[in-house]
Amino acid sequence: MRLSILSLFLITAAVIGESPVASAQSPNSYPWCARMGRDAAATSCYFTSYQQCRTTVSGVGGFCYQNPGFHGTLASAQTRSRHY
C-alpha cells in the first residue's frame, strides 16, 4: 500500500514538472489603456491597439489613452493623442 501511494506521488510530481508554465503578461506590455464604466472608475491596460480599446469602451462608456508605463515601441500600435 505504501509503495502504491509513493508511486502515485512520484508520477504526479513528474507530470506537474513536465507541464509548461504560462508566463503572465504585465499591463506594461500593452500600449493602450482604458478608463471604463460609470465615472470612469475601472482601468484596464491590456489593449494592443487604439481601435481595440475604443471597441471595448464603446458599450460601457469611458476613454482610451496611451499606457504611460508601456516599455515597447508604438510602431505596431496606432498612435493617437486625442481622447474621446
Q: pTM score, two decimals?
A: 0.56
Is pLDDT above 80 for 84?
no
The pLDDT value recorded for residue 37 is 81
User: pLDDT per residue over 28-82, tens digit each?
Assistant: 789 999 999 877 789 999 999 999 999 999 988 899 999 998 987 765 444 444 4
Find out whether 57 and 37 touch, Cβ atoms under 8 Å.
no
The pLDDT value recorded for residue 76 is 47
Helix (H) or strand (E) holding 17: helix 2-18
| 6-14 CB contacts, 8 Å cutoff, 24+ apart | none
Length of the chain: 84
Number of H helices, E strands in the chain: 2, 3
The pLDDT value recorded for residue 81 is 47
